[in-house]
Amino acid sequence: MIDADALPWDQPATMLDLEGRAPIIGTIRDCAMHYALYKPHARVNARVLLTKPVHREGRATRTWVLEPDEIAQLAERLKRGTN
């Protein structure tokens, strides 16, 4: 897992959909907002491509892609209204 609170909202990112929909190019905040609107089946297929890699607990290397559970953490952070 990542530390969702450590990612800056204004960091550029791209929301990818493994079902083939057009990507959403924006910020971490934009991606979290769109993810929160997705239906459950779309959430499973969502990924966020980062412009700066982040540390993931339990891995020796940093990662460029956020998985659905990590994007859900960002959506929850957005819902809480924390910066």
71-83 per-position pLDDT tens digit: 999 999 999 986 6
Q: What is the pLDDT of residue 22?
A: 92
- The answer, yes or no, to whether residue 4 has pLDDT greater than 70, is yes
Give the integer Cα–Cα distance in Å for 36 and 43.
8
| pLDDT tens profile 6-41 | 899 999 999 999 988 899 999 999 999 999 999 999
Q: Do the Cβ atoms of 73 and 4 come closer than 8 Å?
A: yes
**Of 68 and 55, which is predicted with more confidence?**
68
Number of domains in the chain: 1
Q: Which domain holds residue 17?
A: 4-80
Query: Average pLDDT, stretch 60-71?
Result: 93
Q: Which residues contact 76 (CB under 8 A, 6 or more apart)?
A: 4
Helices (H) and strands (E) in the chain, counts: 3, 4
